[in-house]
Amino acid sequence: MIQEFFDRIEDPRRPLLGPNYWLIKKVGLILPKNPISKILYLIYHEYITAFVLTQYIELYMVRSDLDLILTNLMASVVSFICVAKVNAFIYRQNNWKEVLDYITETDKNERGTSDTTMKQIINSYTKYCRQLIKFYWVLLLITFICVSGSPLIRCLSSSNYREAISNGTEPFPHIYSSWVPFDKFSSPGCWITVCIHISCCAYGATMIAAYDSMILVIMIFFEGSLKLLRHKCKNMFGSNGLGVTDEQAKITLRELYTTHILLLKYSKLFDSLLSPIMFLYVVMFSIMLCACIFQFTIATTTTQTLLMIQYFIFAISSIFVFCWHSNKVLEQSQQVFMGPYESEWWIMGAKQRKEVLILTGQLKLFPVFSAGPFNKLTISTFVTIMKGAYSYYTLLRK
């Protein structure tokens, strides 16, 4: 069933980004050209942004209750990051389209190769992208079900709690804690609030699935492109020991320079789009992890414990996958300059050997994806985040 769905959303015009591009168009990250549809999407996006602001209004109103603040803070953190992603993407939509178009055209050109090794590299990272997308989308679906169903699960798990709601000693449970201009604890206001919360939860899950999976696929593309570039450098003077003519060497070297310069250009553009959002991830999810650990230690019901575990797993996996794949790009960028040394450079003349040295220096240049101006997006950063979250937790306990 899942495979059939993915088969339907494949796009031959975008062999790598097909499912991702389909989803970001469906959820309105890529705004349609139709003016009316465009306005409707923008209104919906800003309506959700306004809803997130009401969550922080509610946080201020319950500021005297630490336990309630920490419970509400986890959902509020995810909501804030979600609307930040959406608004940042829409604000710089032309830049995102530029990056996506470059990836699509480059990927299509590479797939036309007759080189067996290059085909294996392309097929390998394409298959990995599809598997990763499936995992991430399923993870978001499970998170959506757990979060939106948590009040219902709590009610079903305890008859005393249901009775307390009926006689008014316990307030009507909601998915989020948010301010509304009507009574949200009695009918019909409580059911209107439930509908608002479910729609906002579904919005958040689909937006995070669309944005995050697209980021991960782009990172995998850059890693795969660096592998392909290293292989091209390895074979730039042939592989039969006979070498190539000066004209062929000149054309090949020019192509390699152009390929690497374009990779540099669009990786830097991608990093400029991603870095502010990743900075929010590092700061906000550090706070969220701290709150999760603290709430887990004081949870009094099974429902609370399960919800804390779900938030914790979501926060950990969200940060880890970005750091892991960014680290993989970094590792590959540090290896790509070996390509010219692996070529048959020794059979070429002095001029070509000099060009090889210049190319080697050029290939050492590649940006590290960052999380704001202070942190690089690497595994060491992930470990630092975990240490920081635990430090906040120990401070909070005291």
pLDDT digits (tens, 9 = 90+) for 366-383: 777 888 777 788 888 888
Spans in the chain with pLDDT lower than 50: none
> Is the CB of residue 340 less than 8 Å from the CB of residue 235?
no
Q: How far apart, in whole angstroms, are the C-alpha atoms of residue 257 and residue 157?
A: 64
Hey, which residues does 376 pair with through a beta bridge?
370
> Is the CB of residue 243 less than 8 Å from the CB of residue 344?
yes
Alpha helices in the chain (DSSP H): 2-8, 18-26, 35-61, 66-91, 93-111, 116-157, 159-167, 189-234, 246-298, 302-333, 338-342, 350-363, 379-397
Which residues are CB-contacts of 102 (< 8 A; sequence separation ≥ 6)? 262, 266
Q: How many residues does the chain have?
A: 398
CA dihedral 372, 375, 380, 383 (to 10 degrees): -70
Question: What is the phi/psi pair of residue 13, to 5°?
Answer: -75, -20
Going from the C-alpha of 243 to that of each of 2, 228, 238, 248, 395, the distances in angstroms are 49, 21, 6, 10, 65
pLDDT value at residue 398: 59
pLDDT value at residue 39: 92
pLDDT digits (tens, 9 = 90+) for 215-226: 999 999 999 999
How do the domains of the chain map onto residue ranges? 2-397
pLDDT value at residue 114: 83
pLDDT value at residue 82: 86
Which residues are CB-contacts of 141 (< 8 A; sequence separation ≥ 6)? 205
Closest residue by Cα to residue 86 from 256, 236, 209, 241: 209
Q: How far apart, in whole angstroms, are the C-alpha atoms of residue 288 and residue 46?
A: 24
Question: What's the sign of the alpha-carbon dihedral 131, 136, 141, 145?
Answer: positive
> Is the CB of residue 307 less than 8 Å from the CB of residue 146?
yes
Q: Is 370 helix (H, G, I), strand (E, B) or coil?
A: strand
Going from the C-alpha of 109 to that of each of 98, 333, 387, the distances in angstroms are 17, 21, 44
State both tokens at 170. 């316990």
DSSP 37-61: HHHHHHHHHHHHHHHHHHHHHHHHH
pLDDT value at residue 67: 64
Hey, which residues does 370 pair with through a beta bridge?
376
pLDDT digits (tens, 9 = 90+) for 303-324: 666 667 777 777 787 788 888 9
pLDDT value at residue 396: 59
CA dihedral 33, 38, 39, 40 (to 10 degrees): 140
Residue 361 burial (C-beta neighbours within 10 Å; 0-12, 13-18, 19+) = exposed
The C-alpha angle 142, 28, 286, rounded to 5 degrees, equals 50
